[in-house]
Chain A
């Protein structure tokens, strides 16, 4: 019962929170910035009218990206957000860096 209610609660969270949670858990990101820019894409071809939380900008810094080229890093993120992409997330602009690349440790 507790598990069911926490799952239900999860679904009620805004998409942005769910995305952040999934990425933080899986990538152990040192930096994770997520911006909802759906308003910039209103009326976009292929997007339903009035939809929100459809387009996001994401910046994530994680050591899990070490040794991965850009395609692999983006695929990693898309795989984590598979459910969101099936349920209305339309596009996500990704900046995926390692701590070294942003000048960190």
Chain B
């Protein structure tokens, strides 16, 4: 599943998009679809003051505080879009990292439905998630909108039964 297409998501309309259609052209949220900016040009202006806008065709870039808030808002919605969300290297069918694969195999063995996002496809998402989760590495597992842990924590929780308990609670809620 690519970041550009996520099934069964509700409409997300970023409030700034109504004021700035060009900005919304690269952070848009349409029914059943999230799209993150693919390049970091928009984030290269963190040094720009809040009163200054720079037009980079086809993007209009706002101040970094607004971008951060919108990225956070979008990530908020993504982590709450499914009960179990895994940010990983690769995807559930083709993990590209042993740690990510471990978490995928654990979740598959527990027969829980889960959504994966490939952070190798999008550096904006990769860096944004590190800040959002206050966690510098991947994979990152979210259960019911809450950060659960990386590979080590997920493995230990699986071995002592805490993961199964947490998943059951999430599925029932």
Contact = CB atoms under 8 A, between A and B. Distances in A.
B149 A91 contact: no
A74 B151 CA distance: 11
Interface string B136-152: 11000000000111111
Given A45-B89, A78-B136, A91-B137, A71 B149 contact: yes
Interface string A11-55: 000000000000000000000000000000100111000000000
Nearest to A79: B134
B120 A70 contact: no
B152 A46 contact: no
B134 A75 contact: yes
Interface of B: 89-90, 96-99, 120, 134-137, 147-153, 156-157
A45 B120 contact: yes
A41 B98 contact: yes
Given A44-B97, A91-B99, A70 B153 contact: yes
B57 to A, nearest CB: 30
Contact of A71 (B98, B137, B147, B151): B147
Given A71-B147, A75-B135, A91-B137, A45 B97 contact: yes
Given A75-B134, A91-B137, A46 B120 contact: yes
Nearest to B134: A75
Given A45-B89, A92-B137, A93-B152, 17 more contacts: A44-B96, A44-B97, A45-B96, A45-B97, A45-B120, A46-B89, A46-B120, A70-B153, A71-B153, A74-B150, A78-B136, A78-B137, A85-B137, A91-B99, A91-B137, A93-B151, A95-B152
